[in-house]
Amino acid sequence: MTLLVTGAMGHVGYEIVRNLARSRPVIAQYHRTFRQADADALGAHATWVACDLTDLQAVERLCREHGVDSCIHLAAMANEMYCRPDPVAAFQANVGAVVNLLDVARRHEWRRMIYGSTGSVFKNVDPAMPIMEDLPPDADGLYGTTKACGEIMVRAFRAQFGVDAATVRISWIYGPPVVNYTFARGPIPPILIDALRGVERNDASGGNFSAGFTYIDDVVEGLIAAVDAPRLNHAIYHLAPLHNYAVFEVAEAVKSAVPGAVIAIGPGAMPWSTYTPIRGPMDGSRFIADTGFRTRFDLRRGIGAYAAWLQAEPGRLDSAGL
């Protein structure tokens, strides 16, 4: 199996390539962003290829030249903050690229394609109720809508052409090697990084915001389990913790990982709900049944591992910022 990982210079993509390159060859796609030192660090098993995935001929050429027969597709315009100012580019990146890969998969009879999607395809859901894997999306933001369109195309190619493709929705990823903290990254990086720097936080609100914060190692291992599974019986799956965590709980977990941290957070959901409404936990029963994988990191363990990584090498905290 020759596996293509798209968006391989992104957070999840790079960590998947790092994991796979220890034991098997992987084709690592990138477009605009490329860090030579990071590419070199992963050794000879990772073959880095520049490709604009919105160009069907370029996608065809990449896959033909490297004998690709499976894919974890993660390249995307990654959140509402980036999609809203340029909806045309968002559609081309988040829908056009998916269709191009699916069409190559159709014509070359790929073994498997996994499309990485998001809980942002849901908006008006009861935050007290779990979101089941067969619940239809209802996004109206640019990011969530384009990702939902990608899901629809995955389902169509699966139904009409027999392409072995499935969507895996992922919830609020955190962990190494992220050291910046924009709203898109959520509350964990800024709260943890400030604590490690000895900066006191006194946030007026935000403690009641809750989400299915998913540690990076679980995301990586789960997506690899999906692409390697003997059979995927459904078009859509959820990869997320069993329950959501409130930002109040994030603060307590950070205090546990960083003794002496001073963190005060008021009630309410803002500012974390600026781009994302509070949703219920994403039920992943189908994913567990078909892949055999369930998340291993609860919030305390994940934040503890993240803190240890940030402390492991001098300079990481110095470089952290917006």
The model's pLDDT over 276-300, given as tens digits with 9 standing for 90+, comes to: 889 999 999 999 999 999 999 999 9
Residue pair 178/185 in contact by the 8 Å Cβ criterion = yes
Residue pair 27/51 in contact by the 8 Å Cβ criterion = no
249, two tokens: 């709980």
Could you tell me the CA-to-CA distances from 210 to 136, 206, 207 in Å, in that order?
Answer: 22, 9, 8
Could you tell me the CA-to-CA distances from 74 to 34, 35, 118, 264 in Å, in that order?
Answer: 15, 18, 11, 36
The model's pLDDT over 114-172, given as tens digits with 9 standing for 90+, comes to: 999 999 999 888 988 999 999 999 998 899 999 999 999 999 999 999 999 999 999 99
The model's pLDDT over 128-139, given as tens digits with 9 standing for 90+, comes to: 899 999 999 999
Across residues 267-281, what is the average pLDDT?
90
Assign domain 176-211+244-279+299-319 one CATH number from 1.25.40, 1.10.3470, 3.90.25, 2.40.50.
3.90.25
Confidence of residue 321 (pLDDT cuts 50, 70, 90): low
Tell me which residue of 21, 26, 36 sits closest to 5, measured CA to CA: 26
Architecture of domain 3-173+213-239 in this structure: 3-Layer(aba) Sandwich (3.40)
Distance in angstroms between the alpha carbons of the first and the last residue of the chain:
39
On whether the pTM is more than 0.75, the answer is yes
Domain range annotation of the chain: 3-173+213-239, 176-211+244-279+299-319
Confidence of residue 14 (pLDDT cuts 50, 70, 90): very high
SS3 readout for the chain: CCEEECCCCCHHHHHHHHHHCCCCCEEEEECCCCCHHHHHHCCCCEEEEECCCCCHHHHHHHHHHHCCCEEEECCCCCCHHHHCCCHHHHHHHHHHHHHHHHHHHHHHCCCEEEEEEEHHHCCCCCCCCCECCCCCCCCCCHHHHHHHHHHHHHHHHHHHHCCCEEEEEECCEECCCCCECCHHHCCHHHHHHHHHHCCCEEECCCCCCEECCEEHHHHHHHHHHHHHCCCCCCCEEEECCCCCEEHHHHHHHHHHHCCCCCEEECCCCCCCCCCCCCCCCECCHHHHHHHCCCCCCCHHHHHHHHHHHHHHCCCHHHHCEC
